[in-house]
Amino acid sequence: MRKVGVFVCHCGNNIAGAVEVERVTEALRSYPGVAYSIDYLYVCSDPGQDLIKEAIAERDLDGVVVAACSPVMHETTFRRTVAAAGLNPYLCEVANIREQCSWVHRDDIERATLKATQIIETIVEKVRHDEPLLPLAMSLVRRALIIGGGIAGLQAASDIAAAGYGVILVEREEGVGGRMAQLSGTYLNFDSTVDLLREKIEAVTRNPHVTVLTRAQVEELGGYLGDFKVKVRRQGNDEEYEVGAIVVATGYELYPQEWLSEYGGERYPDVIDGLEFERMLSPTGPTGGEIRCPSDGRVPQEVVFVQCAGSRDPERGVAYCSKICCMYTAKQAMMYKMQVPQGQAYIFYIDIRALGKGYEEFTQRGMEEHRVLYLRGKVSKVFPQDGKMMVWGADTLSGKGVEVAADLVVLATPMVPSAGAFELARKLRVATDKHGFFSEAHPKLRPVESLTPGVYLAGACQAPKDIPEAVAQGSAAAAKVLSLFSQEKITHDPIVAVVDSELCAGCGICVEVCPYEAREIHPLTKIAVVKEVLCQGCGACLVACPNKASQLRNFTPTQVMAMIGALV
Amino acid sequence: MVIGGGISGMQAALDIADSGYEVVLVERLPSIGGRMAQLSETFPTLDCAQCILTPRTVEVGHHEKIKLATYSEVEEVGGHLGDFRVKVRRKPAYVDWERCTGCGLCQEKCLWQVPSDFERGIGKRKAIYALSPQAVPNKPVIDREHCVYFQKEGKCGACAKFCPVEAIDFQQKEEIWEEQVGAIVVATGYDLYPMERLSEYGGGHYPDVIDSLQFERLLSASGPTAGEIRRPSDGAVPKEVVFVQCAGSRDPERGVAYCSQICCMYTAKQALLYKHKVHHGQAYVFYIDIRAGGKGYEEFVQRAMEEGVLYLRGKVSKIFPQNGKVMVWGADTLSGKRVEIAADLVVLATAILPSQGTSDLAEKLRIKIGESGFYEEAHPQVRPIESGAPGIYLAGAGQGPKDIPEAVAQGSAAAAKVLALFASEVPP
């Protein structure tokens, strides 16, 4: 029979204000299996933790229940405390009597006290049947795979390699550099992207720890955090690599112009997209940096820039904002005016989203110094007439329709995930949102982690973002990888599913429901097997199993029934 | 060393400490958490800020590699990359934190109430106080200016009488010590533009004209109204609330030519939360451009509009009290007409400024400040995290206005720079 100690926390007034802690403690003292029960002002404080350690030693406890706040807050703390006293940490559980009791029942002390007692009793029942567990050891290959050689991927690669770890950088194209290599210059300072990029590329290619694989794609992925097995197809051949972590940095592409029928659907040579205009502005581009109409090579005297050419348009399936267009359009219009000072640049916009340091000032400069004409409204139609491109739009500020006979029209088309991102996401077992962008683990606090352990995200594959943000994310993803690689050994929580081989019929339902691919039917025994390091202990298999052969460690039916028994 | 215990600094500290290196986290306030601890719920998911923040503050507080130096500031910085010598000054808390158990009895017994900075002046605290019940560390400090014991030569002392562990120490002195560190992450965050300087919006004289952080405290379940929207003047539930964006921002004449970046989104959130709490109330938002540029942000603003928040494109020219209401004069540039609203409450999305002391700290660290007063990065596109001074990195809103996910990403990014640096120092 287990000897359980119960430690009831006042949490200052947080719990004691609604729950009569002393009465709870007294009630628990006579509960079956409880060998010791005491209350304390703050069990999480150092003296509070000492109280637990002393009680374990003096009273020979082999189970501990701390009745306090949510286990999210302090489960780790208390498990560490009991471990320090020589007890298996999984024999310590937290009963939540704050968030789930005192905080929500401030007005009824009597019933809150009763409820707190019952919550603790259920957890005592659980502890009585808890098994001592050991964390599962996992292997750790200290080498990273970066998928995508754009600015975000390059940044991640160079930061990881700078710390001395091996990096394999897989890039689909002939060379690294990504979209940034296609650009003319950056906004704010018109710095040459080629120059800025060269430094980054050299930092990666010259580092002996980095292997750059171009014209290569990830074909298959097996394994898990710390020990992934990747099959890369390079120039027709398959190669296998072992890596411990993966950074996805597959970037973006532009929405196809063909789908924008009201803007010509790519039928008119003088209607181009933002990246095509970048190539025209670039000294290394087809025109050597000179702005010319593609139709006849003349210098355009009137250029219309159309923002949100597809973005912010739920009917087109692109309800989101592409974030970078306001700024690159401002830059493009300014570069046009610098090259063709007598020309006129018009920008149709809905909102000017100058979201970054110095961005607002930059768009103001475009308006004031370069006389770029901003028109607030959408463009309804673009069509050719007498050698010009007619642009029909609205000016919502004057409330009038606007018609411009332009020489060149530049469409700021939406950013969409790069081709193949969805298939890649499936191979990596990473979730995507409805637009196909990779989903982060938490939109606020875990922006560069995916929900798949060991797979991190950087750059525009996660959502539209500009260069500084992509660079910051590249470094941030590198931090996650470095932090992982610095561990001496990695372990996995042992609260995982197990299969009772006597009960399993090998029906395979659990294989289908497992969201982590942690299940398979053994080829010889024909019963279900749990791949423990992939199992996240979610319990989906328990519910699905018709024979109750699937169980979760320390959440066994015996335990759950005993816990319910304590309540009824 | 990480300077600043907000979300960005905490992230940097955790990533570095999780890699096995020691971190000293210096925070000016008595506890960590920064601005995020003051927020109600976060856009675009409406997660409760406290609920997602507290596990982080607890993790930082318990991390064996992180040494917390709260209620402390950087006094002097010497040395160089790999070997900085930083003098840290800890203000006297007048409480022995080694003894204190954080029971809160002293705060309960203290008789003297003063407006709380944490509550942005719309709530009160005692002369001995911790920032919140979930504060990390959860230890109080005595505000000498408002403590009767200090002001009236030893009278009162209620806290000392009731403290069960004799932790009150009126004789405590400030402490200065030196830390030797290899790299520094600067994550000192932001302040809001003072309302006093917005004379056309009442200059802080009208109780029912508040700033956005005050409104966050009104929305917060742990705030002074327990999450009920009550206007400060008379506690009435406001039926018409006007949100004024760009209250100071994008206004070169005021010296804030820049866009504060986060106001469009938090205003949409605040207006939506107001509508959730006061179903029949009307929320108006005055804006110049709606800048919803993050993942799911555009959709979030659309949702606010669909749920009945009224957006008016134009600036507000004047706010003044009339017959118990707050009159708002503005323009609607889309209809070309003037708009006049008799509001019960006005919320100003005031400009984001670098936090107080930013330029002093920059001087001590010998790093550059840009013309807007924020720390200057080495290159705006390709080196956004580096300060230009070797071994000193930037994270969060001290470098320029930014929202939580960006501040978190920058915190991690700064950590990557530190980790790469430390790894390269290990002898082969």
* N-term to C-term CA, chain B: 25
> Mean of the pLDDT values across residues B397-416?
98
pLDDT at B428 over 50: no
Q: Which CATH superfamily is domain A255-412 in?
A: FAD/NAD(P)-binding domain (3.50.50.60)
* CA-to-CA separations, B62 to A4, A44, A77, B66, B132, in angstroms, rounded: 26, 10, 8, 8, 18
Looking at residue A13, its pLDDT comes to: 77
A480 neighbourhood in chain B, CB within 8 Å: 15, 412
| Domain ranges within chain B, ordered by starting residue | 2-90+174-189+355-425, 105-162, 193-351
Q: Determine whether the interchain pair B296/A320 forms a contact, defined as Cβ–Cβ distance below 8 Å.
A: yes
Q: Which stretch of DSSP H or E encloses residue A463?
A: none
A351 neighbourhood in chain B, CB within 8 Å: 289-292
> Mean of the pLDDT values across residues A536-563?
94
> Mean of the pLDDT values across residues A485-489?
92
DSSP per-residue codes, B324-338: TEEEEEEEETTTTEE
Q: For residue A10, give the chain B residue with the closest CA.
A: B103
Say whether domain B2-90+174-189+355-425 belongs to CATH 3.50.50.60.
yes
Residue B340: CB atoms within 10 A of its CB come to 9
A323 neighbourhood in chain B, CB within 8 Å: 293-294
The residue assigned the tokens 């018609």 is: A403
Looking at residue A169, its pLDDT comes to: 98
List pLDDT tens digits, range A50-98.
999 999 999 999 999 999 998 977 898 899 999 999 999 999 999 999 9
Looking at residue A1, its pLDDT comes to: 78
CA distance A129 to chain B (A): 28
* N-term to C-term CA, chain A: 22
B120 in contact with chain A, both atoms CB, cutoff 8 A: no
CA dihedral B131, B135, B140, B141 (to 10 degrees): -50
B260 in contact with chain A, both atoms CB, cutoff 8 A: no
Of the ranges A230-234, A388-392, A491-495, which one carries the lowest mean pLDDT score?
A491-495
Q: Are B353 and B262 in contact (CB under 8 A)?
A: no
Q: Determine whether the interchain pair B58/A443 forms a contact, defined as Cβ–Cβ distance below 8 Å.
A: no
Q: Could you tell me the two tokens for B179?
A: 């830390």
Distance CA B249, CA B242 (A): 17
Enter the DSSP assignment of B155.
-
Enter the DSSP assignment of B375.
B
| Domain ranges within chain A, ordered by starting residue | 4-129, 143-251+418-485, 255-412, 496-552
* CA-to-CA separations, A233 to A211, A463, B209, B357, B414, in angstroms, rounded: 15, 27, 63, 54, 34
Nearest to B102 among A12, A467, A471 (CB): A12
Strand, helix or coil for residue B5: coil
Burial B84-121 (b: 16+ CB within 10 A, else e): bebebbbbbbbbebeebbbbbbbbeebebeeebebbbb
List pLDDT tens digits, range B290-342.
999 999 999 999 999 999 999 999 999 999 999 999 999 999 999 999 999 99
Same fold, A4-129 and A255-412: no
Strand, helix or coil for residue A150: coil
The residue assigned the tokens 């210096």 is: B26
Of the ranges A10-19, A116-125, B194-203, which one carries the lowest mean pLDDT score?
A10-19
CATH of domain A143-251+418-485: 3.50.50.60
Q: Determine whether the interchain pair B419/A321 forms a contact, defined as Cβ–Cβ distance below 8 Å.
A: no
Looking at residue B427, its pLDDT comes to: 39
Pairing state of beta strands B83-90 and B175-181? antiparallel
Name the percent of chain A lying above pLDDT 70.
100
Phi then psi dihedrals of residue A453, to 5 deg: -55, 135
Looking at residue A447, its pLDDT comes to: 97
List pLDDT tens digits, range A4-57.
999 999 987 789 989 999 999 999 999 999 999 999 988 987 778 999 999 999
Q: Determine whether the interchain pair A483/B408 forms a contact, defined as Cβ–Cβ distance below 8 Å.
A: no
Q: Which residues are bridge partners to A230 per DSSP?
A: A221, A241
Q: Decide which of 3.40.50.880, 3.50.50.60, 3.30.1330.10, 3.40.50.720 is the CATH code for B193-351.
A: 3.50.50.60
Say whether domain A496-552 belongs to CATH 1.10.3720.10.
no
CA distance B134 to chain A (A): 10
pLDDT at A495 over 90: yes
pLDDT at B426 over 70: no
Looking at residue B68, its pLDDT comes to: 98
Q: Could you tell me the two tokens for A553?
A: 């460690």
Looking at residue B425, its pLDDT comes to: 57
Q: Are B76 and B86 in contact (CB under 8 A)?
A: yes
List pLDDT tens digits, range A130-159.
999 999 999 999 999 999 999 999 999 999
Distance CA A500, CA A137 (A): 22
* CA-to-CA separations, B347 to A435, B35, B287, B291, in angstroms, rounded: 35, 18, 13, 18
- Architecture of A4-129 per CATH? 3-Layer(aba) Sandwich (3.40)
Burial degree of B166 (CB within 10 A; 0-12, 13-18, 19+) = exposed
Looking at residue A47, its pLDDT comes to: 79
Q: For residue A437, give the chain B residue with the closest CA.
A: B295
Q: Are B375 and B362 in contact (CB under 8 A)?
A: yes
Query: What string of H, E and C letters represents the secondary structure of A348-401?
Result: EECCCCCCCCCHHHHHHHHHHCCCCEEEECCEEEEEEECCEEEEEEEECCCCEE
